Structure 1
Amino acid sequence: MRNRTSSGKLILGAAFVCLASAAFAQTQPQIATTSAPGQVSVSGTLKTTATVVGIEPATRTVWLKDPKGKVVQLVVGDEARNFDQLKIGDVVKAEYSQAITVTLKKGGGAAPMANENQTLERAPMGAKPGGTASREVTIMANVTAVNHQSGAMTLRGPQGNSVEVVVEDPDQLKLIKKGDQMEVVYNEAVAISVEPQAK
């Protein structure tokens, strides 16, 4: 479910995606969980900023410093448009979000399937580097077994592979029967913007 395609990889050439990693995690991820009978959703967002303190155009290398003074070196891929517009002092902002919703489909009936949709928007030519990318993956899987003693259910995906999933809420597990289906919708998105240094 986390396979990278050419579009997903273009989350600015993985150059600034590192901002959303632990290296520049300025803020604690904001995580929210909601549940209703037969459905559970979890979402999280991480925001961070850094300042460009060094640029080496020949190798497309950028040095970024977070507000605490930590410096990270990144090589920006060719996919990231407008590299030549980067300047020392530019402020890079990144926001990364993930969400997953699992919904019980009583009685089944739908064909097991997996579907993926992606969107990508890059900054126009001549502007500062930046853009947004998002991905949504939907999977429908069959419930082939439910073990109330272990608290686990077994799901069979569209390719015939089986996986055992532990259901932590016993009230939710009581609703699930063999022959039901589970729909899993996974979303991730990243937005990157570069702004000139404030004068």
Structure 2
Amino acid sequence: MNNALVVARHIWQFLTIAQVESFDWWTAVSFLPCSPNIDGPQCYNAINETAGYNSALIYIDPNFNQTRDYNLYLTKRAFMLKHYSYFHRPGSVRYDIPQGQLPYGVNAFASAHGPETAIEQPHNRTWNVLFFNNQTEAYDIDLKSPSPSARLIKIVETDTSSDWKVTSVEWSSKGIPVRYTILGQSMVTLQFAA
């Protein structure tokens, strides 16, 4: 999870501080430095200190012809990138979240998308807010609803014990901030719709 959070912060810096329009990942699939069926199941998530770069999103067994292990081993980086790519789509409008309003070690990325007329009619928009917590302790946040008619409809979490935990909710703020606990070493996306 540590590596995923480091990369999440780099992407956040590119998209917010440098204000680039997109971020491209360079290695989608690569070989593991070992074979899970030969070296044990821990080999696919062990820290790679000697066998080159540790940058793929998905790993495969380099000895798949011998071991018949055709599994795809997804990394936490893959799920981190899914938070960005699944919720913050091309054509979305990014909204600034002042870093001073967040606890130390927590970053946020917010965007909205919807029909072309959504600027005049904000009730047609979907808002997505990604928080990632680089610290080991949990933090409570209070998030003001993006519009009076917005309701929280989905929460997706990635942490040390879960990859992509989806919770469907139906919560209307009616002016009351959304209170949510961001676990230590985790990412969470809150999705609002109007």
Q: TM-score, normalising length from structure 1?
A: 0.30
Mark the structure with the bigger radius of gyration: 1
TM-score, reference length from structure 2: 0.30
Question: RCO (CA 8 Å, sep 6+): is it higher in 1 or 2?
Answer: 1
Where is the strand percentage greater, Structure 1 or Structure 2?
1
Higher-helix-fraction structure = 2
